[in-house]
Amino acid sequence: MATKPQQKMDARFIAIKVLLRVLKNGESLSSAIPNEISNLDERERPLLQALVYGVLRWRWQLESILKKYLKKALKAKDLDINIILMLGVFQLLWLRTPDYAAVDGAVNSSLKIRKKWAKALINAVLRQLIRERDEINYKDTLEAEFSHPQWLIDKIKYDWPEQWQQILSEANQAAPMTLRLDTRQMEVADYNELLNEVELDAEVAAHVPGALILKQPADVSRLPGFEQGLVSVQDAAAQCAAPLLQLAPQQKVLDACAAPGGKSAHILQTEPALELDAVDISESRLQRVAENLQRLGQQANLICADISQPEQWWQGQQYDRILLDAPCSASGVIRRHPDIKSLRRESDIAELVATQQQILDVLWPMLKPGGLMLYATCSIFRVENEQQMQHFLQRMTDAEEIKIAAGWGHEQKVGRQILSGEQQMDGFYYALVRKSI
Amino acid sequence: MAILPILEFPDDRLRTVARPVEVVDDQIRAVLDDMLQTMYDAPGIGLAATQVNIHQRLIVIDVSEEKNQPLYLVNPEIVGLQGIEEMDEGCLSVPGIYETVQRADRITIKALGYDGNVFTLDAEELLAVCIQHEIDHLDGKLFVDYLSPLKRNRIKKKLEKQRKQAAS
């Protein structure tokens, strides 16, 4: 048997394939897009991004709209048709794609995946929607209103009874592109002028020295001095780590779970004359650390190992500083990774909490008496953050918290919490502990 | 391995009913290897031995995008059929023609594999359609047989014309 030769790929069709990888295979967006994008014309890439991020971000609203127009739910094996419909609705209501183009694109997609039977269904649903688009109420449930799965809404509401609505709506906004300037090379105000010269507009972050928030995302090739290592791309919340570590020359420092290396680079930028071990479990992600450090002309010992198995990688020499950017639910960075809302399961949380605890316990003996450990997550859940560290301080009699004083975030019983979108930062948690002498 | 010539509609040899294979030996495996190479080269997603003028019940299939999941079927039998699916089909023996055919969308088959061991397989969608298409070949049947005589005749004329043009 032979199949029709593939026509040139368009963004709408590649978007279906990317979304199938995420919603059917459970692949993350950051792996699904590179796996499909090679078939796509360079000029179509922004549209692909808009489509896949948009559908994953607004999925619960899109599904609530579709539910009204579908006489019966689609079968699980017709997830592709469901995706085609969501893409169609998203284009009609969010992107304001011309009606005929959205409908035609959706119908053609169904033919390309050889599901001719769906043609009439797609036509009927999208055309009815076009007729009624001004009257649609798609905020009839909390899931639809905030476009998050119910368990996530419940959990955020429970943890943040005052701020949950704000958190959820911030999580649906696209995150800004934030730069980290090497302030030893240049003042922030001077770099801001360089940006203006290439017609980029940035805002200086109020409480994070060296952070500049771009008004519009731009390709890194447009950033003055990027190749030379003058600036890096990193959210302002992540830029809070290195300054908290009180770095000094000759210190021996561990960055556990280092990939993709932004914080490692920041540590070395802050204090180049220290010895840094950067550990990560993934060889391919450690490769990204290597690339990042190379661009900045920095040196670290890159170690590919499971951090919780020290006999595999630790030489037995204690550290002055440990940064543990722990594996977490990533509930604070949903605005950057909307696929988290579809991929994360409620049952994952307990497992993550156990992993975090295990790593904390393994790392603690590796810290010198008098040394500092900074625990960080990009989560907003108390079990992973404040409660995790409360338990830690109870377990370790030789650990004492050092309160973080800063213009960002909220002081917790232990540590400091940034909520998603506050001061345009990602949701992040930091707790600093010292080992008694 | 070798690339084998593919018979084209309306060649009468495509109407031969293939014989069951008695034992899957190295000779059969060599035929399967050649068929797979011929299929990838065409390029196609399935090929029945009938199409390369070998009248034994042998099929090779690969519906994966990366072309790295070959499936070998020896003496395949359909033991279960469910649902209806319409798909645009094409055939390496009817080059350049694509028409909609209705088939079952979920099937269960029993067959011998490359190693000669018997197995059963549940298939759906494209794979299910492809298996049905190829088993038809072993029974001397082509996908154009499902079309109206008028359409079939038009395809026959079109292919004859193409061949004449290619020859001149």
Tokens (6 digits) for A314: 């630790």
Q: Predicted confidence band at A8 (pLDDT cuts at 50, 70, 90)? A: low
Question: A1 vs B125: CB contact, 8 Å cut-off?
Answer: no
Question: B126 vs A114: CB contact, 8 Å cut-off?
Answer: yes
Distance in Å, alpha carbon of B127 to nearest chain A alpha carbon? 10
Average pLDDT over residues A192-208: 94
Of B60, B73, B85, B87, which to mutate for an interface test with A (greatest number of A Cβ within 10 Å)?
A: B87
Under 8 Å between Cβ of A250 and A328: no
Domain ranges of chain A: 11-141, 178-233, 238-435
Under 8 Å between Cβ of A307 and A327: no
Average pLDDT over residues A140-146: 94
Residue A375 CB coordination number (10 Å):
25
* Chain A, chain B: beta-carbon pairs less than 8 Å apart: 41
Q: Tell me the β-bridge partners of B143.
A: none
Question: A116 vs B100: CB contact, 8 Å cut-off?
Answer: yes
Per the annotation, the verdict on A328 as an active-site residue is no
The burial class, CB within 10 Å (0-12 / 13-18 / 19+), for A90 is buried
Q: What sign has the CA pseudo-torsion B152, B153, B158, B160?
A: positive
Domain A238-435 has CATH 3.30.70.270: no
Query: What is the distance between the alpha carbons of residues A312 and A310, in angstroms, rounded to a whole number?
Result: 5
Residue B95 pLDDT:
92
Q: Tell me the β-bridge partners of B100.
A: B88
Question: B88 vs A114: CB contact, 8 Å cut-off?
Answer: yes
Of A1, A6, A20, A113, which to mutate for an interface test with B (greatest number of B Cβ within 10 Å)?
A: A1
Tokens (6 digits) for A273: 């004359």
Q: Does B99 touch chain A (CB under 8 A)?
A: no
Q: Predicted confidence band at A6 (pLDDT cuts at 50, 70, 90)? A: low
Average pLDDT of every residue of chain A: 94
Query: What is the distance between the alpha carbons of residues A260 and A284, in angstroms, rounded to a whole number?
Result: 10
Task: Kindly list the distances between the CA atom of residue A194 and the CA atoms of A202, A224, A266, A269, in Å, as whole numbers in the listed order.
Answer: 11, 7, 21, 21
Residue A7 pLDDT:
55
Q: Does B98 touch chain A (CB under 8 A)?
A: yes
Segments of chain B with pLDDT less than 50? none
Class level of CATH domain A11-141: mainly alpha
Residue B163 pLDDT:
86
Tokens (6 digits) for A169: 């709506």
Residue A111 pLDDT:
86
Question: B86 vs A77: CB contact, 8 Å cut-off?
Answer: no
Q: Predicted confidence band at A24 (pLDDT cuts at 50, 70, 90)? A: very high
Distance in Å, alpha carbon of A4 to nearest chain B alpha carbon? 7
Among B86, B90, B95, select the one facing A3 at the smallest CB separation: B90
Residue B168 pLDDT:
75
Q: Does A250 touch chain B (CB under 8 A)?
A: no
Query: Has the ipTM of the complex gone over 0.85?
Result: no
Residue A83 pLDDT:
97
Average pLDDT over residues A392-397: 97
Class level of CATH domain A178-233: alpha beta
Q: Concatenated DSSP letters for B118-155?
A: EEEEEEEHHHHHHHHHHHHHHTT--GGGGS-HHHHHHH
Sequence-distant (6+) residues with CB within 8 A of A264 are A255, A258, A276, A278, A289, A292, A293, A298, A300
| pTM exceeding the 0.90 threshold for the entire prediction | no
Evaluate whether A11-141 and A238-435 have a shared fold. Answer: no
Identify the residue whose tokens are 């040899």. Answer: B13
Nearest residue in B to A117, CA atom? B86
Q: Does B124 touch chain A (CB under 8 A)?
A: yes
Residue A112 pLDDT:
84
Indicate which residue of B66, B99, B134, B160 is catalytic. B134
Question: B45 vs A77: CB contact, 8 Å cut-off?
Answer: no
pLDDT tens readout for residues A272-297? 999 999 999 999 999 999 999 999 99
Rounded to 10 deg, the angle between the A118-132 and A79-90 helix axes is 30
Q: Which residue has the higher pLDDT, A211 or B65?
A: A211
**DSSP SS3 for A130:** helix
Q: Which residues of A touch B86 (CB under 8 A)?
A: 116-117
pLDDT tens readout for residues A65-96? 999 999 888 999 999 999 999 999 999 999 98
